[in-house]
Every structure is written in C-alpha cells, then in structure tokens.
Amino acid sequence: MVVATRFDPFQEMDRLVGQVFGSARAAASMPLDLFRSGDHYVLHADLPGADPGTIDVNVEDQTLTIRAQRTHQGAEGVQWLVQERPSGTYVRQLTVGRGLALDKIEATYADGVLSLTIPVAEEAKPRRIEVQHGASQATAITQSGERAEAGTS
C-alpha cells in the first residue's frame, strides 16, 4: 500500500525546537522566517548587531546550526539607566529532513539579517512518470532518459 503525503523537512524540526527550548525563548534569541520558493527553501534569521565575523553556519549530519555573537557596546564609567539590548552568543539548531542539498547551502548577511538558501536535492524533486499503454508494444524509459522499444514475443 502506498500512502501519499506532503513532506516538509522543516515542519518537524520547528516543532521539536519549540518543545525543547520553548517557542518564545527560541524566537526571542534568533527569530526566523522559513519558506519554500520553487526548488529551494529560504531561511531569514534576525541577527541585529551581530559581528559578521562571528556568524557561523554549519551542517553536521541532519543538523543545521547557526551561531553568532553580539558584543555589548558599553563605555566604561557609565551608569546604565536601561539596558534591554541582549548580548552574548546566540545559537539556533534545526534538524532538517532528507531531500535537501545541504552541501549547496548559500548564506548572506546584510542589514542584520542572515539569509540561507537551501536547494532541494535533485532526487527529491518531483518527476513526471510516463504511463504506458497499448498491448503490442511497451516503451521503457532508461535511467539516462532515453526510450527503449521492446516488442512482444
């Protein structure tokens, strides 16, 4: 039996992050948006004030890790009246599903936003399957995409 389902590799990871860290805590430290556009996913993570040299994006197995450092911009000898802007190291880990070309991720950082473009792997892209018909002749499609005619005996 074949069951058709739509698989979103990020849906499960976001649910798990929410359970482990709490959605508010994860969003407060590094809020992100994630969407699919054609044959790739786009992730935007807010990192205002992060030093671009400290931003690290890496993938190990099925875990995508984003790490960045915000340093406190304080002058010595001042008396703080309000200090609400967070500083320190921020980390967000996302477990990604199969079907993504993790070795082809592209990353840019501009105006306090880290943008990742994650392509869908070729083997996970939708394909059209040709339906065979006719009793006297069958056409097979080889792996290279060529047609091979097979007569009946």
pLDDT recorded at residue 97? 83
Nearest to 48 by CA among 116, 114, 115, 94: 114
pLDDT digits (tens, 9 = 90+) for 53-91: 999 999 998 899 999 998 877 778 888 888 787 788 989
Residue 68 exposed, middle or buried by CB count within 10 Å (0-12, 13-18, 19+): buried
pLDDT digits (tens, 9 = 90+) for 99-153: 898 999 999 999 999 999 999 887 767 778 889 887 655 555 555 555 555 544 4
Nearest to 45 by CA among 70, 62, 71: 70
pLDDT digits (tens, 9 = 90+) for 8-51: 666 666 666 666 655 444 434 789 999 999 999 999 999 998 99
- Give the chain's length: 153
* Domain locations along the chain: 26-72+84-124
**26-72+84-124: CATH class:** mainly beta
Q: Looking at this protein, which amino acid is placed at residue 10? A: F
CA distance 29 to 37: 26
